[in-house]
Structure 1
Amino acid sequence: MALRNGPDEFGLVTRVMHWVMAILILVMLALGLRISSMEPGLSNLWLYGLHKTLGLTLLALVVLRILWHLASRPPAPIGPPGRMRLFVKTWHWTLYGLMIAVPISGWAGSSASGIDTVFAETFVVPPLVQPSERAEFVWFILHEIFAKTLLGMVIVHILAALRREMGGDGTLTRMLRGRA
């Protein structure tokens, strides 16, 4: 079981990062949908703190994952040639872009609110923008748009992986076991 990616297989590091991030993203999207419908109060303030902590954790993980892909190139994709392969590659990079944009826009929105962004109830993270009601509104609208776009893309990503696996191409198997 190799840690690094090979020409035809995903290494353990890539697979662990993929599945940990997948689970955290699904948890974050569900938590975000829940807290967006709540009125902030003392009884639920911890959920906002948890959301911020997990969001900053995901931001760090996606940066690490991109750096890892530069150090240990993923194997070539199985399946579609030509334009479809370009589409899939663009889709994946758009997912990465959203995985960066969602937490940064949330962090900026929190900064604009004038309320500290605290990581793990311990560390105050520096603000990204100056407090401003207008900036808070804009950043949180962007955060919502990015998050809902990410949710839609994640659903399509899951369905496409299942469809391809049922078609027998081995892409999902490779992300689970390393090899198709």
Structure 2
Amino acid sequence: MEVQQVLCMKGGDGEASYANNSLLQKKVILEVKPILEESITELYCKTFSECLKIADLGCSSGPNTFLPLWEIIDCIGATCSRFSREPPAFQIFLNDLPQNDFNAIFESLARFYERIEKEKEGMSRQCFIAGVPGSFHRRLFPDRSIHFFHSSYSLHWLSQVSSGSKITESLFIISIKLHET
């Protein structure tokens, strides 16, 4: 049996499901929010892309699925207001192992779009979300096709990262920032 089949989250909404046992993950997502905001603002200010392409690796299924995406959209909206710019379109790819409960994610998309429409006037028409099942141990996207990767509680599954890679540098920066707080 492959490790991906053994070490995956429990789907659904039962007592032992990830959806009902993910408060610690939510706490961490909220604690690193300033780092996320700083990173996404810096990226956007360098590119001012008309379409910001984001991938969330290990998105899971439950109450935390859309939390980082909301923070990113909120941060970009504030940055655009500061610079008197129109917000970009968002192309968002939610990635997790195929065993993830993608049906539950897709069923909750309507509520997410409604919240964006209600709180971010018109931005829901600029937000496009797709599921990308598969392990990030293999290539999921073409070269240079994603502007920003988000991952919370999944990078520890990496067995090897080449030294000097941007991932290694980013993890080092995030690690330092976490230890400063």
Q: TM-score, normalised by structure 1?
A: 0.29
Q: Whose strand proportion is higher, 1 or 2? A: 2
Q: TM-score, normalised by structure 2?
A: 0.29
Structure showing greater Rg:
1
